[in-house]
Amino acid sequence: MSIQLNNVSYTYMARTPFEKQAIKNINLEIKKGEFVAIIGHTGSGKSTLVQHLNGLLKPTNGSITIDEIVLGKKDEKSKLARKKVGMVFQYPEHQLFEETIYADIAFGPKNLGLGKKEIDKRVRRAMNFVNLDYDMYKERSPFQLSGGQMRRVAIAGVVALQPDYLVLDEPAAGLDPCGRDAIFNKIVELHKKTGIAVILVSHNMDDVAKMASRLIVMKSGEVAVDGKPADVFKETETLVNTGLDIPQIISLMRALEKRGLPVNTDVLTINQAVDSILSALRGKNHAK
């Protein structure tokens, strides 16, 4: 079970004087259950790429399959396959439009043709998931909420669809550090609890290093590197050429290693770094 992109290219305003090729010859497979981050400089083609994953954009060349169903045909199978992919756009709160939070979250499940009982169950679960108290918030207008809360309602609306693949395009853009952490913790929790595949677009290496088990680095519309975070961060030259920084935690570990402390430079989290530094220091003390 996977989403496959076979030699996918996309050109905006094709065959006009303004045409712009945004992605070129992309071959990728994203399997069910993966946590993939797509990272790259602004304009590298990340948003264009992910808008292909649920058939929102149709490739100028190449093809996309979801669980072996080819997208783009107007048949029932293709429509059902697209519904397996939930999409949270940049600034999703701009897409809230119903009068109540309940109605906004229920909108997608209603469109799936689900019954009232099932819709209610999903709305409750989705609100609970994003930490919005059902009884307190269900009748409120989404437009009376803070930016972070509006964002949570928008994410709940996609979660309520119970997709197999969840695509999030910069879901924490514009939020303060607390809001960012809250959103990212929820995404990680959802992934762990349900096994949903997460495809997360980000500019920020530090954010994705902690969460994703695979990084896809985009440069000028192409995939520059694709692999496990620790392996991707070893491609320092490519990353620098791509305009990306390696995570600060890895820079720190490399600096310590250069100064003679035998630390593990593959660590991705603060806890791993602390453990590695402590054990390197203990080793040094033993050697004395």
Ligand X SMILES: Nc1ncnc2c1ncn2[C@@H]1O[C@H](COP(=O)(O)OP(=O)(O)OP(=O)(O)O)[C@@H](O)[C@H]1O
Q: Which is nearer to ligand X, 42 or 271 (CB)?
A: 42
What is the nearest approach in angstroms of ligand X to the Cβ of residue 56? 12
Name the minimum Å distance from CB 57 to ligand X. 10
- Helices 147-159 and 101-111: crossing angle, nearest 10°? 20
Q: What angle do CA 47, 53, 54 make, to 5 degrees?
A: 110
Q: Which of 19/118 has CB closer to ligand X?
A: 19
Question: Contact positions toward ligand X, by CB under 6 A?
Answer: 12-13, 20, 22, 40, 42-48, 203
Query: Smaller CB distance to ligand X: residue 222 or 275?
Result: 222
Measured from the CB atom, the residue of 45 and 229 that comes closer to ligand X is: 45
Task: For the CB of residue 171, give the shortest distance to ligand X in the complex, in Å.
Answer: 13
SS3 36: strand
Least spacing, CB of residue 226 vs ligand X, in Å: 16
Q: How far apart are CA 90 and CA 190, in angstroms?
A: 19
Kind and range of the H or E run holding 48: helix 46-50
List, in order, residues 6 or more apart from 34 with CB less than 8 Å away. Answer: 197, 198, 213, 214
- Looking at the Cβ atoms of 39 and 273, the one nearer to ligand X is 39
CB of residue 227 to ligand X, shortest distance in Å: 19
Report whether 96 contacts 150 (CB < 8 A): yes
